[in-house]
A and B are shown apart, each in its own frame.
Chain A
Amino acid sequence: METSVQPNPPGRDIVVKCAGLTKTYGTGESAVYALRGVDLEVLAGELLMLVGPSGCGKTTLISVIAGVLHRSGGACEVFDKDFNTMSVDEITRFRGVKIGFVFQAFNLIPALTAAENVATPLIINGMKPRPAVEAAREVLKKVGFDERMMRSMPMDLSGGQQQRVAIARALVHSPSLIVCDEPTSALDGETGRKVMQLVRELALDQNRALVVVTHDSRIFEFADRIAEMEDGRITRVSEHPGEGAGGGEGAGVSARKME
């Protein structure tokens, strides 16, 4: 296995810093070691893809990074915050402000229109529904929605359109980190590419960091770096693998992987 350690580029903040990160489900003989000492840094302005076979720990890793799952050992700081030293409410509020989510199954609330779904993070953060929906409409315009589509219920939208709504929802409150779990697995190849283009265009324009879990090799080209995982460890980190990424200045220079 190879190890690559490279210095941080000047002026690029480290958004996520994990060292020796472990996560174990259960105890004793039935214990399952989902993460076995992960070292990883994610920089502002980069799109990092986590790839690997099913059960290798990708989803567990982004769950810990996003603060929806507690780690068992090691260290993990997100925007210099250690979730293990924060209360549940503090972590929840932190997520609400700093992190945006894009889910594999979109997770749009079926009773809300597209615009209302996008407004949800703003409402959670205390904004009144009417201005929140207005703000949501502006973001939906950026992902190519017209007025009729904004008023549509999720069930009336195609898979690609639903994922665009989910992306708009992840962006609307201007988070500094966006985590995407298999964002293209429910979409056909062409739609998946369009969605990833959109994610890159919109998500990285404000120096945000993106962590994308995927095993869809068709979208690898959009990554600045790709971290390959196997059996709870990062086995390889490769930089700027394809042409689609565009790769901002200094993108992905701080790849670090240790066994």
Chain B
Amino acid sequence: MNFIALKMLFGDRAKYLGIVIGLTFASLLITQQSAIFVGIMTRTFSFLTDFGLPDIWVVDPTVQYIDDIKPLRDTEVLRVRSVEGVQWAIPLYKGSLEAHLYEGRYQSCVLVGLDDETLIGGPPVMVEGRLSDLRRNGAVIVDAVGASDKLAHRLPDGRRVPLRVGDELELNDNRVIVVGICRVTQTFQNNPVIYTTYSTATLFAPMQRNLLSFVAAKCKPGVDPHALCRRIEGATRLKAYTAEDFEYLTFLYYLKYTGMPINFLTAVMLGFIVGITISGQTFHNFTLDNLRYFGTLKAMGATNRMLLRMILLQALVVGGIGYGLGVGAASAWGLLLSGRTQIAFRLPWQLLVISAAAVLVICLGAAALSIRKVMKLEPAVVFRS
């Protein structure tokens, strides 16, 4: 019966294409919008994922997300180090400051000050130069995207000359030299990221009483990070998060205080509704058009179970094709633009599963309407002209 089901499906080319196009569009919209949403949300805590090494982040108790910097006293590093179960703890500076560029422009940058001794938390990938070069006086490492885009020197004819190793720029009236180019995950604001040492960063940073942004700590082997967080909180009266909890806190903040989830959810729902209306309706019409032939098959001995399998097969085939084309188009779109633009696009396997589930729901919904008609169909209909 699969043979007949597929022949019937592919035989009505107009409806088959209508269903597949509808499902492709739905799958594309659902996958692409979800991937952009995940990409953007991942950027909100990219600083944490790039950092990698520490298990625990100690911050002011009122901090709501990673960029909500509430400076701590420098002595907090020592207090954290003194808590039992802490293997090491380092100071970190993270702040925003203006870079003064060649042509007189100012550009906001994210300045990261790493622990002078260990340089823990350095950029994940060095494109040019070495991390240890940061120990040189006034040395900075700039992220590759920032160097070739926002920090690039703009010529009068509009061309951009990327910032290179050896170039100089001004950070808050301090002259610094670029000693390396690195690759980092883009930030939410998409500002260039500049790495230097903690001591240099505190020199460049605007004057204020406290400058320590975070204390990053590592658990001793065998120590439960959550239990250690509670001990650090007890000892310091600060807030301690595991890296995952801090990512989640940041993620929740953006979910709650920005309109992004609603916007993206609307787009995803639109995809779903388009899928249901176009594909579901066309599939239903396809079944209605073939009702006479389903009745004929029933009269000739096809059981309801056979016809059910035929309709499910037809729904799953168009679903599979539409899903494949939609996900393929979304991936191609992401790959194409990711290489050329700063678009946030992240397509983890979970999204593929969610998209497949959405397309499956559309197909089964469409099939359910059709199945009901066919199951209730009296074979005697074949004798009505």
Interface residues of A (CB under 8 A from B): 59, 62-63, 66, 68-69, 88-89, 92-97, 101, 103-105, 107, 109-112, 116, 120-121, 123-125, 129, 169, 181-182
Q: Mark B298-311, 1 if CB is under 8 A from A, else 0.
A: 11111111100000
Docked complex Cα distance between A96 and B3 (Å): 18
CA A124 to CA B380, docked complex, whole Å: 18
- Give the residue of A66, A69, A104, A121 whose beta carbon is less than 8 angstroms from that of B378: A69
* B7 / chain A contacts, CB cutoff of 8 Å: 109, 111-112, 116
Instruction: Report yes or no: A121 in contact with B301, Cβ–Cβ below 8 A.
Output: yes
Which of A68, A105, A112, A120 makes the CB contact (< 8 A) with B380? A68
Contact status A92-B378, CB under 8 Å:
no
List the A side residues contacting B306 at CB < 8 Å: 124
Chain B nearest CB from A186 CB (Å) reads: 9
B-side interface residues, number (CB < 8 Å): 29
Q: Are A111 and B383 in contact (CB under 8 A)?
A: no
CB of B301 within 8 A of CB of A124, answer yes
A109 to B379, CA, bound (A): 15
Closest to A130 in B: B3
Among B7, B12, B298, B301, the most chain A Cβ lie within 10 Å of the Cβ of B301
Min Cβ gap B13→A in Å is: 9
CB pair B382–A107 under 8 Å, yes or no, is yes
Q: What 1/0 flags go to B20-50 for Cβ under 8 Å of A? A: 0000000000000000000000000000000
How far, in angstroms, from A89 to B380 measured CA to CA in the complex?
Answer: 15
CB <8 Å contact, B383 and A63: yes
**B380 lies within 8 A of A93 (CB):** no
Contact of B11 with A121 in the complex, beta carbons under 8 Å: no
Evaluate contact between A92 and B301: CB separation under 8 angstroms: yes
| B301-A68 in contact (CB<8A) | no
The residue that A101 contacts in the complex, of B292, B382, B384, with Cβ under 8 A, is B382
Are A101 and B303 interface neighbours, CB within 8 A? no
Task: Say whether B293 contacts A62, CB under 8 Å.
Answer: no
B8 close to chain A: CB less than 8 A:
yes
| Minimal Cβ-Cβ distance residue in A for B3 | A129
Q: How far is the CB of B5 from chain A (nearest CB, A)?
A: 10
- Whether A93 touches B383, Cβ cut-off 8 Å, given contacts A107-B296, A112-B7, is no
Please determine whether A104 and B385 come into contact, CB atoms closer than 8 angstroms: yes
Nearest neighbor of B9 in chain A, beta-carbon distance: A111
Q: List 20 A-B contacts (CB under 8 A).
A: A59-B384, A68-B378, A68-B382, A68-B383, A88-B304, A89-B304, A95-B300, A96-B300, A107-B293, A107-B296, A109-B293, A111-B7, A111-B10, A111-B11, A111-B12, A124-B300, A124-B302, A124-B306, A169-B300, A181-B383
Contact residue among B304, B305, B383 (Cβ-Cβ distance under 8 Å from A103)? B383
